[in-house]
Amino acid sequence: MVKKNWLTGRDRELYELAEQYEKAQTNQQPLYLDASDWADLADWYAMHHKYDMAFKAIEYGLSLHPDNTELLIELAYLYIDEQQIDKAQATAERITEDFLDEVKILKANLLLINRQTQAAEKLLDTIEDKDNMANVTDIVYMYIDTGYPRKALEWLKPRMEIYENEEAFLATTADCYYNLGWLKKAAELYNRLIDESPYNASYWYGLARCYYDQSNFEKAIEACDFALTADEDFAEAYVMRGNAFAQLGNDESAIENYHAAEKYDAISPYFVNIVDGMHLVDLKKWDEAYRKLQKAIDTNQNDEELGNLYAHAAVCLYRMGYKEKAEEYFHKAQELEPSEPDFYLMESHLHLEEYQYDKAIKAWNAAASVAPTAETWNVIGLMCFECGELKYAAQAFERVKEISPKDPKVDLRLQVIYLLLHDEEHYEQLARTTHTPLSEEDVRSVRGLIASEVSRDTLPQSLRQIFKYKR
C-alpha cells in the first residue's frame, strides 16, 4: 500500500478520502463529498488500477450530484481506460456544457480514438485558455495515449518557459520525452523530479522504463524497487520488474512479480499461466506444466499464441505417457500454424528419442518442407547428434552445407561426425578443402571417443559450443 506518511498535498488528501469512503462503505454509512472530490477520488482509484472502486465512487457521486459535468467527464475517461468507447461516447453526449474547455478536450480525445484528427484539432482550436496547465496536461496525455507524441510536444514547447519549475508540467514533459523515445532526456527529468519528490512511485517507474528500454535491466529493477517501496500497490512496477528479471534469465523472480501484478489486474491470468507453464516445462515438471498450459488453452482468445500452447502441452503429454493425445495436440498446433517448423521439430525430437525413426523423419521432413532453410536443417542435425543418431546428423549437416556452404560451423560439425563414424574418406576430403580444419589435438581427442557413447559433454571443450542444442 501507499506509505501515507510520505504523501504530501493533494495525494495525501485523496488517500485520506479513500480511507473515509471505504470505512463508510464498510459501515454502510452515508458520505457527502463535493463533486470535484468524487471525481478526483475516482481518478485516484483508477491510477491505482482499482477500477471497480473508481466506478463505484463515480456512481455514488452522481447519486449526490446528478448529471454533474465533472463527474460525467471522469466517468467517460474511465470508460476510455477500460476500452469501452461506445459507453464513453454515450456519457460524453450526456454532458450539456459543451462550451467548457475540459468537455472539448474529452470530445477531442474521442475523435482522436476514432482517428478523426482534423476534427479533433479543429475542436481544440476553440479552447479558450490554451495556456492553462490543466488543459495543457490533459491535451498532452490525450495525444500520447492515442499515439501522437509529436503533437503532444507541440503543445508543450510554447509553454516550457511559463511552467519550467512546475512539478506537474515537468512530469508531463518527461512522459512525453519517453514516448518520443528520448530516453536520456526523459531520465534526466525523472531524476530531477525524484530529487524534489523522492517518494513518488510514478517518477521511479518512469525512470525504470527508461532504463529498461536501454537494456539496463539491473537499474530498471532497482528503480522499480524504489517505486514499490513508496507504493507497494503500484502494479505496473511489478510488471516492469518481472520483465526485467525475465530479460536477465531469472525466471523465478520474474514469475513472482507477475503473480504480484496479477493481484492488481495489471496482468491477465492467461499470461501468468503461460509464463508459469513454460517455466515448468524448462524444469521438466510435466504434470504441473501441462495443467498451467491447459488453463491457458482453455482461456485463449488469440489464435496467434494457441499453436505454441498446444505444441508445448503436447511435449508435456508425451513425457507423461499420453502419447496418443500428445500427437493429437501436435496436429492441432500444426493445423493452426502450418508454416511454423518448430512444432514439427519438437514432435520429431520426441519420436527420435523413442527410436521411432519413421515418425521422426516424417516430422522433420515436414519442417524442412515449410522452412527449407539452413537453420531448419541445422536444428535437425543438432537434434540427431544429441540423440546419438550420427548418420542422420551427417545427412542433415550435408544439407546445411548445400544451402549455406560458407557456414564455418557446418564444416567443423561434419568433420567431427565423419571421424566418429570412421568415415575417413569424407573426413579427409573435407579437411583438405575447408577453411576451418580441426586442430590436431581435437582430431586425436575425437578419434579416441566411442561413437555409441558420444555426447556434447564428451567432446573436447573447444568443440562443445558448436553442438549446443536448445530445444
Delimit the domains of the chain by residue range.
181-267, 268-362, 373-471
Determine the pLDDT at residue 300: 81
Rg (CA), the chain: 30
Dig out the grid coordinates for 256 from the structure: 513472482
Packing angle between helix 69-81 and helix 101-113, nearest 10 degrees? 20
Per-residue pLDDT 10s for the chain (471 aa) are: 444 334 445 778 888 888 899 998 999 999 999 999 999 999 988 887 788 999 999 999 999 999 999 999 999 999 999 999 999 999 999 999 999 999 999 999 999 999 999 999 999 999 999 999 999 999 999 999 999 999 999 999 999 999 988 999 999 999 999 999 999 999 999 999 999 999 999 999 999 999 999 999 999 999 999 999 999 989 999 999 999 999 999 999 999 999 999 998 888 899 999 999 999 999 999 999 999 999 999 988 666 789 999 999 999 999 999 999 999 999 999 999 999 999 999 999 999 999 999 999 999 999 999 999 999 999 999 999 888 889 999 999 999 999 999 888 899 999 999 998 999 999 999 999 998 898 888 888 888 776 656 665 666 666 667 676 555
CATH topology agreement for domains 181-267 and 268-362: yes
Packing angle between helix 217-230 and helix 201-213, nearest 10 degrees? 170
Determine the pLDDT at residue 452: 59
Determine the pLDDT at residue 264: 86
CATH dotted code for 181-267: 1.25.40.10
How much is the pTM? 0.78
CATH dotted code for 268-362: 1.25.40.10
Please give the Cα distance from 265 to 425 (Å, whole number).
64
Smallest CA-to-CA distance from 395 within 378, 373, 370, 420 is with 378
Angle, CA of 271, 273 and 276, to the nearest 5°: 110
Question: Of how many residues is the chain composed?
Answer: 471
Ramachandran class of 115: left when φ > 0, alpha when ψ lies in -120 to 50, beta otherwise = left
CB atoms within 10 A of CB 391: 11
For the chain, give the secondary structure using H, E and C. Answer: CECHHHCCHHHHHHHHHHHHHHHHHHCCCCCCCCHHHHHHHHHHHHHCCCHHHHHHHHHHHHHHCCCCHHHHHHHHHHHHHCCCHHHHHHHHHHCCCCCCHHHHHHHHHHHHHCCCHHHHHHHHCCCCCCCCHHHHHHHHHHHHHCCCHHHHHHHHHHHCCCCCCCHHHHHHHHHHHHHHCCHHHHHHHHHHHHHHCCCCHHHHHHHHHHHHHCCCHHHHHHHHHHHHHHECCCHHHHHHHHHHHHHCCCHHHHHHHHHHHHHCCCCCHHHHHHHHHHHHHHCCCHHHHHHHHHHHHHCCCCHHHHHHHHHHHHHHHHHHCCHHHHHHHHHHHHHHCCCCHHHHHHHHHHHHHCCCHHHHHHHHHHHHHHCCCHHHHHHHHHHHHHCCCHHHHHHHHHHHHHHCCCCHHHHHHHHHHHHHCCCHHHHHHHHHHCCCCCCHHHHHHHHCCCHHHCCHHHCCHHHHHHHCCCC
CA distances from 426 to 6, 419, 430 (A): 75, 9, 6
